[in-house]
Amino acid sequence: MHSSILIFLFAIGAVSSQTCVDLVNPSTGVSDCPSSSYLCNNAVYYDFMTIQCPKTCGRCQSTKTTTTTASNCVDKTNPGGPDCSETAYLCKNPAFSAYLATQCPKTCGKC
């Protein structure tokens, strides 16, 4: 089943860098991303899901500046997500900085 979902997702193309939407199944007009969200943080599918399902996987690049107050500045604790204390050294790495800023804002100093 996973391979059929992934083949389908691969066949529908890439997401625009200016919009943050999950790609849709052209046959149904509905995204398969919500039902595949458990693959978002799977190491094997991470890059693939980032391209195909950025909204569902929480990997949208934001061009706007948001202000987070200290009282609500917390790291997310998602099953299968990063352990912020163990990945803190990647906060300034260009390959991970945007993702970790959303998942680990406190650890990465984004508050």
What pLDDT was estimated at residue 50? 85
| Torsional sign, CA 107, 55, 98, 67 | negative
Burial class (CB in 10 A: 0-12, 13-18, 19+), 37: middle
- 17-21, 44-48, 72-76, 90-94 — which is least confidently predicted? 17-21
Q: Is there a contact between 25 and 32 (Cβ–Cβ < 8 Å)?
A: yes
Average pLDDT, the chain: 75
Q: Where are the domains positioned within the chain?
A: 2-52, 62-111
pTM of the model: 0.42
CB count, 10 Å around CB of 38? 12
CB count, 10 Å around CB of 105? 20
Which phi and psi angles does 25 have, rounded to 5°? -75, 115
